[in-house]
């Protein structure tokens, strides 16, 4: 836990080549536009999140890559560790999901949404899939740059979640 606020949005990310990390950071900036609520955002790598972090949050943004047509390993491990400790205790909280993918992303999204449905979380908008169009081995393993326009979508989603919470919509 990095923050002593009891009214935070928790952004949980995993990334190997930087794309999802940049998306998570953009979403965190969007949440931080909510200046009336200090310490509004906590952003943590999937490996560092425990059930106390989860239970204390008002809402969630999950950001991760698709790998081998699935949720990336550390993100899956986060869900595995925290699913039952949180089950029945976070129902109806709002969430958003953002996937970074080479050319697809749909399977990772389906898996992530299925888990969040099990938790009975409420999606605040359609998930974002951002494609980096890496094809060759070299391109797939290279650091990723997310376009300004795509980062803006992540920022807007963070702003939407915090503003919706502040206004009591979510
Ligand atoms: C081992 C591995 C498997 C991958 N499998 C998929 C895949 O199934 N579908 C897809 O769209 N992209 C796939 N990719 C591409 C990544 O999703 C893409 O490079 C993404 O931008 C990585 O996000 P990151 O920069 O946050 O790590 C794969 C990448 C790696 C390294």
Q: Is the pLDDT of residue 46 over 80?
A: yes
* CA 73 / ligand 1 centre spacing (Å): 11
- Separation of alpha carbons 11 and 138, rounded Å: 29
CA atoms within a 13 Å half-sphere pointing along the CA-CB vector of 104: 12
The tens digit of pLDDT for each residue in 131-144 reads 999 999 999 999 99
For residue 16, give the 3-state DSSP assignment: coil
Q: Is the pLDDT of residue 47 over 60?
A: yes
- Separation of alpha carbons 156 and 26, rounded Å: 9
Share of the chain above pLDDT 70, in %: 96
- Separation of alpha carbons 43 and 130, rounded Å: 19
* CA 110 / ligand 1 centre spacing (Å): 16
* CA 155 / ligand 1 centre spacing (Å): 22
Using a 6 Å CB cutoff, which residues line ligand 1? Answer: 15-20, 65-69, 100-105, 132, 134, 140, 144
Domains parsed from the chain with CATH numbers? 8-166 (3.40.50.360)
The tens digit of pLDDT for each residue in 52-99 reads 999 999 999 999 999 999 999 999 999 999 999 999 999 999 999 999
pLDDT confidence of residue 5: 55
Q: CA–CA distance from 61 to each of 23, 86, 116, 133, 136 (Å)?
A: 11, 16, 11, 23, 30
The string of DSSP letters for 125-136 reads: SPPEEEE----S
pLDDT confidence of residue 4: 44
- Separation of alpha carbons 36 and 151, rounded Å: 23
Which residues lie closer than 8 Å to 39 by C-beta, 6 or more apart?
3, 4, 5, 7, 8
């Amino acid at each position: 836990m990095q923050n002593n606020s009891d009214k935070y949005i928790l952004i949980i990310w995993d990334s190997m080549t930087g794309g999802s990390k940049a998306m998570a950071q953009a979403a965190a900036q969007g949440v931080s536009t909510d200046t009336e609520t200090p310490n509004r955002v906590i952003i943590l790598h999937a490996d560092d999140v425990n059930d106390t972090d989860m239970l204390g949050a008002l809402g969630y943004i999950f950001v991760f890559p698709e790998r081998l047509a699935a949720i990336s390993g550390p993100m899956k491990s986060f869900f595995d560790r925290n699913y039952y400790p949180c089950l029945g205790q976070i129902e109806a909280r709002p969430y958003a999901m953002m996937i970074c993918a080479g050319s697809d992303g749909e399977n990772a999204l389906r898996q992530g949404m299925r888990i969040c449905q099990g938790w009975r979380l409420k999606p605040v908008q359609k998930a974002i899939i951002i494609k980096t169009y890496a094809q060759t081995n070299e391109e797939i393993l290279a650091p990723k740059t997310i376009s300004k326009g795509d980062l803006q979508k992540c920022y807007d989603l963070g702003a939407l979640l915090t503003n919706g919470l502040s206004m009591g919509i979510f």
